[in-house]
Structure 1
């Protein structure tokens, strides 16, 4: 019983506070301070996690000059690794845990997601457990990515399929800090 009671303060600190209080504060410095110091999330220089982003657990690493826009879902249960100069559009879901639908006991599992440098993920895309998005690839808005995407491929659809190739000479940064976001 005592062990069960000790779980509640933990979940309050790592789930409730960051997702119902901290993510509503319109100042990057305060949000990032909480994410880094309390949750242990690694956020690189020049990177931004915008308002109303839902953070699930703490095994999240974000490189430099990457932008995670409003209302995203960052699931760190299985490990979430975001590279440098990554642009994640609003309402994107990166999900690292699920259940085996064919398991008699509906078995729970976790698999990490890795997003390499210069990846752009469009609005309302969903990235499922175990997916690796290779350097410079693009995921179109509304896509559901169920398997790895090769470097510089452009994918779209449900499930996402290759629809084109991106220029391989990429040299930009996604550092973006709009005021009060």
Structure 2
């Protein structure tokens, strides 16, 4: 589907970059805005939609007619992150790996010693203490993993959204409004 490319006058410019139409970057009208706000370059609008994560015109509230596709995974770009965000992710992943390893090792040692006590028939105060520690450690570990995995899922969604290709179609023309003419007469026009 080709976008509706409206004939433009020499004064028409993109409302985002304020440049005129070019042969390789024609102006389109993706919404119901009029006047100097009517036109935009496809590439400018795509970049704006990605950065604002909005699917409608903020001025006229028209929902853009969009086609979105994901790039093949091998062609995905690296997610743009600030140095602080990157450092935070690296530290979080490192901490997560160390914490999970420590929790699993501690649980393994506690469970191993507890099973030895059960086999020996010694169920005294240390046994119940170990059982409580195992329960609290397991619960805390699961909650921690849930919170971390939720953050990783959000990061993956952001990366996926960053690597989608957005194509915005032009806004269809409004039907003509004829006062006093019936629908049958409109068909004859």
Q: TM-score range by the shorter chain?
A: under 0.3
Q: TM-score normalised to the size of structure 1?
A: 0.23
**Structure exhibiting the larger radius of gyration computed from Cα positions:** 2
Greater length-normalized contact order (CA 8 Å, ≥ 6 residues apart): 2
> Which has a greater percent of strand?
1
Q: TM-score normalised to the size of structure 2?
A: 0.23
